[in-house]
Amino acid sequence: MRVIRVGLELLGLEQDVLRHGIAREVYAMPIADNAKEYLQGKATAPIINRPSVAAIGTAAVCRWIVPRAERQPEFELFAQDDLLALLGDAG
């Protein structure tokens, strides 16, 4: 957060854009074939199988982005001008 604040300051943008009122969320997906067994102590070493960027993106869209968009369709009302207003006079 500090780095983001400094970056916004260097860009001459208001730090208020960081106060969006959305609770923090943590997203996770296993990167080991035996993640559950390893975390339960049943396996001595993880079998790492890192997914590709495309697989991570697809998982994020299917698991988090689409369901949130369906639950909160008001995002469709958001316009580019709204973002510019949040950023203040950055031009």
Q: DSSP string covering 12-72, please? A: T--GGGG---PPP-------BTTHHHHHTTSSSS--B-PPPHHHHHHHHIIIIIHHHHHH-
Confidence at residue 14, expressed as pLDDT on a 0 to 100 scale: 76
What would the pLDDT profile of 2-26 be if each residue is shown by its tens digit?
A: 888 888 888 887 777 777 666 666 7
Length of the chain: 91
Asked if the model's pLDDT at residue 85 lies above 70, the reply is yes
Check residues 7 and 33 and name the one with the higher pLDDT. 33
Torsions phi, psi of 77, nearest 5?
-80, -10
Check residues 77 and 25 and name the one with the higher pLDDT. 77
- pLDDT above 70 as % of the chain: 90
Confidence at residue 50, expressed as pLDDT on a 0 to 100 scale: 86
